[in-house]
Structure 1
Amino acid sequence: MTSLIFGANCSPFIAQFVKNKNAQRYESSMPAAASAIYRSHYMDDYIDSLPNEEAAIQLIDNIMFIHKQGGFQMRNWTSNSKKILASLPKDLLGEAAVKFNTGELYEGERTLGLIWHPNDDTLRFDVSFKRIPETIINGTQKPTKREMLRVIMSIFDVYGILAPFTINGKIMLQEIWKSKISWDDYITETVFQKWSKWIYLLKSLKNDYGYE
Structure 2
Amino acid sequence: MEALIFGINCAPCIAHFIRDRNADRFQQQNPAAAQAVKNYHYVDDFIYSGNDNKEVIEIATQVLHINAPGRFYIRNWASNSKTVLSEQGGESSSTEVEITTAEKVLGLYWIPETDDLTFIFKFSRLKRDK
The one of 91, 106, 117 aligned to 2:111: 117
Asked if the contact 1:85–1:93 (Cα under 8 Å) also holds between the matched residues in 2, the reply is: no
The one of 106, 118, 123 aligned to 1:129: 123
| Equivalent position of 2:42 in the other structure | 42
CA deviations on 1:102-132 (whole Å, 9 max, x unpaired) are: xx677431112222232443444321134x6
1:55: Cα distance to partner? 0.9
1:34: Cα distance to partner? 0.5
Structure in which a larger fraction of residues adopt helix = 1
1:134: Cα distance to partner? 7.1
1:37: Cα distance to partner? 0.8
Q: Structure 2 stretches of 5 or more lacking a match?
A: none
The aligned amino acid for 1:5 is I
Asked if the contact 2:101–2:112 (Cα under 8 Å) also holds between the matched residues in 1, the reply is: no
Question: Could you say what secondary structure the match of 1:78 adopts?
Answer: strand
TM-score (norm 1): 0.54
CA RMSD of aligned residues (A): 2.4
| Equivalent position of 1:92 in the other structure | 92
* Number of equivalences: 129
The aligned amino acid for 2:60 is I
1:2: Cα distance to partner? 1.3
Q: 1:18 to 1:129 in 2, by over 3 A?
A: same
Quote the sequence identity (%): 38
| Equivalent position of 1:22 in the other structure | 22
| Equivalent position of 1:2 in the other structure | 2
Q: Which has the larger radius of gyration?
A: 1
Q: Does 1:67 align with 2:72?
A: no
